[in-house]
A and B are shown apart, each in its own frame.
Chain A
Amino acid sequence: MDKAKSGRVLQTAADSSQPLLLTPTEDLKGFLGLHLGRLTLLLITCTSVLAVFLIFLFIAIEAFPFLTKVSLIEFLTSTGWYPESYEKPEFGALALIAGSIYVTIGALVFAVPVGILAAVFLSDIVSFGIRDFVKPVIEILAAVPSVAYGFFAVLVLAPWLQNRFGFATGTNALNASLVLSVMALPTIISVAEDSISAVGRELREGSYSLGATRMETVLRVVIPAAHSGIIAAVVLGMMRAIGETMVVWMASGNASQIPHPWWDLSQSVRTMTATIAGDMGETAKGSDHYRALFAVGLLLLVMTFLLNMVSEYLLARAKKRLGKQ
């Protein structure tokens, strides 16, 4: 019989003369251990659910008196945002919603192609040595604080846009989109690259052995195989763009208007996050303006949640389609 390091005597299977059955206590212990363990893990994981729920609750409580006072239709469809006006305050959030959409979609339009191409470059095209060198460089981009991007947007990018393209104002939707895309890039690239690298060699080798060029392999085999990770990356990037406060506050100009020809990105827009951040510090706590800001926050949360549901649905559909193929 072997002596284990702890000094206890181990019984090997060949030595025991009884069949390998668990005693009732051992069985119960194992059962409880497994299920209690899973329950604890579930509870810990639900902290994020708890957090979202609490945030929702907190915002809804503060926003509720406002929502009962003002008509929801006016809130969602009017463009006049004059919350502090003496005679007739207006709380129309349409311009804010439009601003957030402009800036987010603009950011994604720049960030997603560049991000995925860069991820492909890092995982498929370049050698491991260079990859180990470039990955930290991208993580450096993530290390720059949002305040620095804000400076850059106002002091460097805005005058350049004004001088080069003759825009009347340099703090506009284009400026905010460009800077937000740079901020979302590290997240998109890191997560996408991790998932593209994780696609097994066999898929790639199979495709190359069938005579496909690298582009075809990447576009038709690797990316679809890594689709969940890539969609996750894009969603995380989009969330970063929607939720970013400091940069849009400085870079987008904050004019509460919908740009007049709708494609004119050189006009100043105002996003929901900038409205909340910009006005929150100065408003009187408990006033209509304060509650209106929380209503905008609630709207933002609801939009984010809906976007997530849509992306989950798309993900499920893509999985089904790929599963069928």
Chain B
Amino acid sequence: MKIAVRNVFDKVFTGLTRASIVLLVLVLAVVLGPILYRGSSAVVFRGTVEFRRMQFAVFGHGDEQQIQSEVQQARAVRERVYEIVDEFKKGIDASALTERARKIHRDFGQELRYRQTPHEQYAELRSLSRDIRDRLEAAFEASDKAQVDESIKYVMQYRQDERLRDTIAAEYFQMAGDFQRAAARVDLAKRAEYAEQLKDVEDILFCADDRPGLLGPRPGELQPALVMNQYGATRWDQAKALLDRFLWEEKWVEQEKGKPLVKVKVERAKIFEGTELEPLFAYVRDNVREMLRPRWTFYWRYFFDDSASGHYFGGVGPEIIGTLLLTLLSMLFVIPLGVVSAAYLVECASENMVVRIIRMCINTLAGVPSIVFGLFGMAFFVLFLIPLFDGPSKPCILAGSMTLAVLTLPVMIRSSEEAIRTVPQEYKEGSLALGASRFRTFVAVTLPAALPGILTGVILSLSRVAGETAPILFTAGVALGPVPDSVLDTTRTLSYGSWDIAVGNRISALVPHKQYGMVVTLVLLVLCLNGLAIVLRSRVFRKLKGQ
């Protein structure tokens, strides 16, 4: 082949290798980028006053005075929202008004008995009250303005009646007046539609059955049972999403026949056009900052706090502890085992059948799926080995770390073997020539020289072990539990936690920052441990090179 052609091939080859690394970095960016970005928003984000309130109530962090004053300020701005909603409800919420009318009737009867009115008067007043109540109910239920006006007029003629004036029955007339004013501004035919829309609006603003709203439950109303629903939007991005849903309703409409529907946004204010609720939307949009008071927060306690309300709030402190314990303990088991095995395979073994069987077994071990390790770990370590030493026969960190050690043994053995093999023969021969025994040569000369390669194996193993879920599912992990006191306890871990949120939990869609936060914490933890090992490796390397 001509030199020119060979050079072209050479350049192409070099280009290809460069391209592969670029591809790798690109893949890393594409996979890790969104995860890192969203995960970091678990620690650095704009928190609202609801967040600070929650931190104080649930975890006890923060200055009580400051938080109280902030809450008061926010409440002052929110008052108008409550007012507008209440006013509107007066006009359309028929069942509440009916309920109230009935209560007035009952209380009136009680008051008459209390005043010991004579029997005939009592009967007459009661029947009058009943009549007024029924007329009011008819007015509340009516969908025709003329009917409403007629009923209210009938009721109002008794307004000046002195028998009713100083009693509870006077409230009837106030209700009637309020209702008439409200009804004048409401299109009664659309009442059912308004009621449904209002429910949606209230769900978004305050609190829906199963998810929190923008401002949180109204003060004075019954608090939801789950802690996560007791507070409003704790993060500003959450708040903005809710605000968007509040101002715009999403509808799927058919634009072309025979094609999928298309998403269309309809302004909610238009639905309530002409009613009292319309100014609510502009008010909320303009004042949401004062109502929520967002502020840049650096939630460093994320790494120390316990999680609350099933991971919706709080941090990943116990999970970090669990992952660290499991990883370090399993490294403690696997490093000696791996290095010793590698030493045997390189130094003492000759290429006979036994060694070939050992190698095949090591490779097979590498191919066993992690779920099988989990089952094996449970059957062997939890149910057999630990009880053999009088331990309790239940999942624990010890069993989990032993399982993980077996999982990562092949990688450790393989890397250590490569590392020990690459130590130049001259080192070994020199040491032997000086009269050292083979054991001493290995420990004092070969091992330190192979340390960088062994540390590579440690790094790979660490990463694998910290990220595994299936083996610890049955042997050491729990989804919810206290911080472990000893190695004979179960523990939560970052890997199990992120799997749990992603795969089992409904709220995962609501808290993407929590999911990714856990994954990012895991990656950061592994990177820190790796970083230590890398620093150690380069130090040892430099020492070996004689610098």
Contact = CB atoms under 8 A, between A and B. Distances in A.
B460 A301 contact: no
Interface string B403-435: 000100111011100110110000000000000
A304 B499 contact: no
Contacts of B372: 55, 59, 276, 297, 300-301
Contacts of B523: 140, 143-145, 148
Interface stretch (B3-11, B180-188, B254-262): B3-11
A289 to B, nearest CB: 15
Contacts, number: 263
B467 A214 contact: no
B392 to A, nearest CB: 21
B9 A215 contact: yes
A115 B27 CA distance: 13
A185 interface: yes
Contacts of B20: 113-115, 117-118, 121
B466 interface: yes
A194 B14 contact: no
A151 B526 contact: no
Contacts of A139: 459-460, 463, 530, 534
B135 interface: no
Given A58-B380, A194-B422, A51 B367 contact: no
B495 A147 contact: yes
Nearest to B339: A44
A54 B365 CA distance: 11
Given A215-B10, A246-B469, A41 B418 contact: no
B40 interface: no
A109 interface: no
A141 interface: yes
B371 A308 contact: no
Interface stretch (B55-63, B170-178, B190-198, B353-361): B353-361
Interface stretch (B29-37, B67-75, B99-107, B121-129): B29-37
Given A45-B340, A48-B413, A243 B367 contact: yes
B502 A52 contact: no
Given A142-B463, A190-B460, A149 B368 contact: no
B113 interface: no
A177 interface: no
B17 A120 contact: yes
A72 interface: no
Contact of B498 (A34, A41, A147, A232): A147
Nearest to B347: A41
Given A47-B341, A144-B467, A146-B467, A305 B370 contact: no
A187 B460 contact: yes
A286 interface: no
Nearest to A54: B380
B530 A216 contact: no
Interface stretch (A1-9, A77-85, A233-241): A233-241
Nearest to A315: B359
Interface size class of B (residues with CB under 8 A): 35 or more
A136 B530 contact: yes
Contact of B410 (A46, A48, A117, A272): A48
A182 interface: yes
B502 A191 contact: no
Given A149-B31, A239-B366, A301-B368, A45 B344 contact: yes
B469 A146 contact: yes
A143 B467 contact: yes
A148 B399 CA distance: 25
A141 B522 CA distance: 13
Interface string B491-507: 00011001100100000
Interface size class of A (residues with CB under 8 A): 35 or more
Interface string B375-417: 1100110000000000000000000000000100111011100
A145 B522 contact: yes
Interface in A275-325: 276-277, 280, 297, 300-301, 304-305, 307-309, 311-312
A143 B13 contact: no
B257 to A, nearest CB: 22
Interface in B99-120: none
A146 B499 CA distance: 10
Q: Is the interface of A mostly helix, strand, loop or mixed?
A: helix
B341 A277 contact: no
B409 A48 contact: yes
A314 B330 CA distance: 34
B24 interface: yes
Contacts of B337: 44, 47
Interface string A227-257: 0010010011011101111100000000000
B519 interface: yes
A151 B509 CA distance: 12
Nearest to B518: A147
Contacts of B463: 139, 142-143
Interface string A126-150: 0000001010111111111111111
Nearest to B499: A147
A302 to B, nearest CB: 9
B363 A239 contact: yes
Nearest to A186: B460
A117 B17 contact: yes
A156 interface: yes
Which of B14, B21, B410 lies at the interface centre, i.e. has the most chain A CB atoms within 10 A of its CB?
B21
Contacts of A138: 24
Contact of A215 (B13, B341, B360): B13
Nearest to B373: A55
A16 interface: no
Given A142-B460, A145-B466, A214-B14, 9 more contacts: A38-B348, A42-B344, A44-B340, A122-B21, A139-B459, A141-B24, A143-B463, A145-B519, A147-B495
Interface of B: 6-7, 9-10, 12-14, 16-21, 23-25, 27-28, 30-32, 34-35, 337, 340-341, 343-345, 348, 356-373, 375-376, 379-380, 406, 409-411, 413-415, 418-419, 421-422, 438-439, 453, 456, 459-460, 463-464, 466-470, 494-495, 498-499, 502, 515, 519, 522-523, 526-527, 530, 534, 538
